C-alpha cells in the first residue's frame, strides 16, 4: 500500500471511531436507570407484629377504675410481652380490629387453660371437620357433672381450647368435667349452624356419657361474649324444633342443659347500636348493624335488613317457662357489648318467672382486660362454683 493510501485508511478509521462504531458493529441501546425504591413506610407483617395497644390509658386496677372500651382486648402488659401463638381459627397476630368494639369478641386477658384433655378432638358430628370437642376430667371416678364451654370470638374466630384458665382449673378441682367445643364459625357456615352444633355437642355428650365418665343429667352450658349468646341459645331452645337437625346425630337424645352461665353475651343484635349509644359508648362501638360487622357475618345478612334472622338468633324469642337456672354476669364498663344488651336477657327470664341471677361487676369491661382479674378473680370463681353446685 502506498503512503497516500495508508494515510487515507488512518483518516477513515479515525472518522469511524468518532462516530462510535466500527463498520458492521451494532451499538448497544441506552437503558434508563431503574426508579428509586419508594420511601413510604411499609406496614409490618401481621403474622409477626404485636397487637396494637389500646388507644387510651388503662388504670392498673381494672376492678376499681373503669377503663373506656379498648380497640381490642389486650393482655395486661402487651407493650412488653409478645402475644402467644393464636389458637386455630384465629388469624396470626391475634384478633383483628372489631374483635373488640364492633363485635362480641370476648378476647379478655384471662389466664390460659393448661390442663391436658383426657379425650381430645372427639368428633361429635360428621357434617364438618370443625365439629370436634375436647373432654377434660377431674381426678377420681365419675360420673362427673359437666360444664360445656362455647368459646368467644365474634362468631368468626376462636377455638375449643379457649377456656378461661383460672375458672377451668377451678371447675376441675371442684369435680366437674370441662368440655371445650368447636362450632362452625361464620366463615364456614352462617347462623344457625353454630347453634345446631352447640346442641349436637350436648346430645353427643349425653348419648355417650358412660364412655366418657359423665353424668348425663347434670350438664351446664357456659360461654363468654359470642359464646355467651350460644350458651343462652342452648339454654332457651331445648323445647324448640327450630334447631333440630337429625343429620348431626343422636336425634332421639335431649339437648337440654340443667344450668347456663353467660358471661357478657349479646342478646338482640338489632338493638346493640342503640344500647351502646344510650350508654355513651364511642361511635366505633355502634357498628353492629353494619353489613361488615361480626353479627352480620354470623347471620349471613346485614343486621339492619334482616329482622327475622335477628329475632331467630335472640334467645329471648324462645323463652317458654321451661328454661334452666341462669347466671348472667356483666362488666359495667362494657362497650363492646353494651350493658343493656346482656341485661335484657336477665330481665326477660325474670319476667317469665324463671330462676336467674344477674351480677353487674363494677369497674370492668368486656372480660378481664386489666392486671387484676375480676371475672376470673377468686371471689367470682367461687360465685360461679356456688351457682353450679346449687343448680347442677
When mean pLDDT is compared across 262-276, 324-338, 366-380, the lowest value belongs to: 366-380
128, HSE (Cβ side, Cα atoms, 13 Å): 17
CA distance 212 to 359: 33
Most confident of 43-47, 93-97, 211-215: 211-215
Residue 262 pLDDT > 70, yes or no?
A: yes
CA distance 304 to 292: 11
The confidence score (pLDDT) of residue 371 equals 84
DSSP label of 30: P
DSSP label of 168: H
CA nearest neighbour of 99 among 112, 90, 110: 90
Q: How do residues 115-151 score in pLDDT, each as one tens digit?
A: 999 999 999 999 999 999 999 999 999 999 999 999 9
> What does the angle CA 321 – CA 349 – CA 359 come to, to the nearest 5 degrees?
145
Residue 385 vs residues 234, 259, 373: alpha-carbon distances, Å:
20, 12, 17
Q: How do residues 199-225 score in pLDDT, each as one tens digit?
A: 999 999 999 999 999 999 999 999 999
Name all domains of the chain by residue range, CATH numbers in brackets: 119-391 (3.40.50.1820)
Q: Contact 206/251 with Cβ under 8 angstroms?
A: no
**In angstroms, how far is CA 128 from the centroid of its own chain?**
19
Kindly give the pairing relationship between strand 132-136 and strand 177-181: antiparallel
The confidence score (pLDDT) of residue 179 equals 99
The confidence score (pLDDT) of residue 239 equals 92
263 DSSP β-pair partners: 224, 329
Cell triple for 155:
362468631
Residue 57 pLDDT > 50, yes or no?
A: no
The confidence score (pLDDT) of residue 110 equals 58
Residue written as grid cell 347456663: 260
Most confident of 8-12, 58-62, 95-99, 384-388: 384-388
Torsion, CA 332, CA 369, CA 150, CA 93, rounded to 10: 140
Average pLDDT on 101-111 reads 43
Percent of the chain surpassing pLDDT 90: 70
Average pLDDT across the chain, whole number: 81
When mean pLDDT is compared across 134-138, 173-177, 239-243, 320-324, the lowest value belongs to: 239-243
Percent of the chain surpassing pLDDT 70: 72
CA distance 48 to 309: 38
Q: How do residues 323-349 score in pLDDT, each as one tens digit?
A: 999 999 999 999 999 999 999 999 999
* pLDDT tier at 392, thresholds 50, 70, 90: very high
Average pLDDT on 220-237 reads 99
Kindly give the pairing relationship between strand 356-361 and strand 326-331: parallel
Q: Contact 282/355 with Cβ under 8 angstroms?
A: no
* pLDDT tier at 248, thresholds 50, 70, 90: very high
CA distance 159 to 157: 7
Q: Is the dihedral of CA 209, 210, 216, 218 positive or negative?
A: negative
Amino acid at each position: 500500500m502506498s503512503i497516500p493510501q495508508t494515510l487515507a485508511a488512518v483518516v477513515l478509521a479515525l472518522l469511524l471511531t468518532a462516530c462510535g462504531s466500527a463498520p458492521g458493529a451494532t451499538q448497544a441501546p441506552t437503558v434508563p436507570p431503574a426508579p428509586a425504591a419508594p420511601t413510604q413506610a411499609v406496614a409490618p407483617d401481621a403474622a409477626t407484629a404485636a397487637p396494637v395497644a389500646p388507644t387510651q390509658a388503662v388504670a392498673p386496677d381494672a376492678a376499681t377504675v373503669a377503663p373506656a372500651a379498648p380497640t381490642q382486648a389486650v393482655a395486661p402488659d402487651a407493650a412488653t410481652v409478645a402475644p402467644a401463638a393464636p389458637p386455630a381459627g384465629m388469624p396470626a397476630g391475634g384478633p383483628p380490629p372489631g374483635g373488640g368494639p364492633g363485635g362480641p369478641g370476648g378476647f379478655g386477658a384471662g389466664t390460659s387453660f393448661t390442663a391436658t384433655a383426657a379425650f381430645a378432638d372427639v368428633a361429635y358430628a360428621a357434617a364438618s371437620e370443625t365439629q370436634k370437642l375436647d373432654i377434660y376430667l377431674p381426678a377420681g371416678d365419675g360420673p362427673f357433672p359437666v360444664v360445656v364451654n362455647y368459646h368467644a370470638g365474634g362468631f368468626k374466630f376462636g377455638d375449643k381450647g379457649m377456656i378461661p384458665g383460672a375458672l377451668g382449673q377451678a371447675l376441675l378441682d371442684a369435680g366437674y368435667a370441662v368440655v371445650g367445643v368447636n362450632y362452625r364459625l361464620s366463615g364456614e357456615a352462617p347462623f344457625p349452624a353454630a347453634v345446631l352444633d352447640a346442641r349436637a355437642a350436648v346430645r353427643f355428650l349425653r348419648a355417650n356419657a358412660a364412655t366418657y365418665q359423665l353424668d348425663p343429667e347434670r350438664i351446664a352450658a357456659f360461654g363468654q361474649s359470642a359464646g355467651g349468646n350460644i350458651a343462652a341459645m342452648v339454654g332457651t331452645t331445648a323445647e324448640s324444633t327450630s334447631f333440630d337437625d337429625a343429620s348431626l346425630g343422636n336425634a332421639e337424645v335431649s339437648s337440654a342443659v340443667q344450668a347456663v352461665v353467660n358471661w357478657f353475651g349479646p342478646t338482640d343484635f338489632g338493638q346493640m347500636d342503640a344500647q351502646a349509644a344510650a350508654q355513651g359508648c364511642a361511635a366505633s362501638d355502634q357498628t353492629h348493624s353494619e353489613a361488615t360487622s361480626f353479627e352480620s357475618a354470623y347471620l349471613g345478612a346485614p343486621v339492619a335488613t334482616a329482622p327475622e334472622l335477628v329475632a331467630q338468633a335472640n334467645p329471648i324469642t324462645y323463652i317458654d317457662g321451661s328454661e334452666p337456672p341462669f347466671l348472667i354476669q356483666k362488666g359495667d364498663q362494657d362497650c363492646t357489648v353494651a350493658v343493656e344488651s346482656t341485661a335484657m336477657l336477665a330481665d326477660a327470664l325474670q319476667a317469665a318467672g324463671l330462676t336467674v341471677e344477674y351480677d353487674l361487676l363494677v369497674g370492668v369491661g368486656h372480660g378481664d382486660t386489666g392486671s387484676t382479674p375480676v371475672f376470673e378473680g377468686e371471689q367470682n370463681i367461687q360465685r360461679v362454683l356456688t351457682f353450679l353446685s346449687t343448680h347442677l
